[in-house]
Amino acid sequence: MTTAPTEIDANIEPNSEPKIDFAKMNFLIPGIVQDASTGEILMLGFLNPVSYAKTLETGYVTFWSRTRQKLWMKGETSGNRLRVVSAATDCDNDTLVFKVVVEGDGLVCHEGTVSCFTKPIPIQAQSQTPAVEEVQSGK
């Protein structure tokens, strides 16, 4: 018996999705959220088996809130929900990346920005290789 593929697993045959290794990190895995059209990394959250199943079921990223100890669908109050376009796991099956379309006004961060990654950290390189210098100069 076959079932109709969902938007999330349209390119995966039923029953062949990768088995996510939740046990490795105390049943929480990182979930990276990336804008499907721009490639910008928007946020990082954590999923447990229940929030992962909820994400697959609804098509919207659902996290496990470590501070509140409960399921948390991003945007459930703000309207800036994260509709999953595609999902993948890394080679170790212990980290997920979700390519999403942000609904609402597009502001993902609770600080009112599109991305949560807005605070640059200066890196003091001890010595730079020619390849690093080329990248930095745009060559």
**pLDDT tens per residue across span 55-77:** 999 999 999 999 999 999 988 88
What lies within 8 Å, CB to CB, of 28 at 6+ separation is 22, 46, 47, 48, 64, 66
What is the pLDDT averaged over residues 89-112? 94
Q: What is the pLDDT of residue 126?
A: 73
- Whether pTM > 0.95 for this model: the answer is no
Q: What is the pLDDT of residue 125?
A: 78
Q: What percent of the chain has pLDDT over 90?
A: 71
Using the predicted structure, report yes or no on whether residue 2 has a pLDDT greater than 70.
Answer: no
What lies within 8 Å, CB to CB, of 55 at 6+ separation is 8, 47, 61, 62, 84, 87, 98
Pick from 40, 77, 82, 35: nearest CA to 59: 82
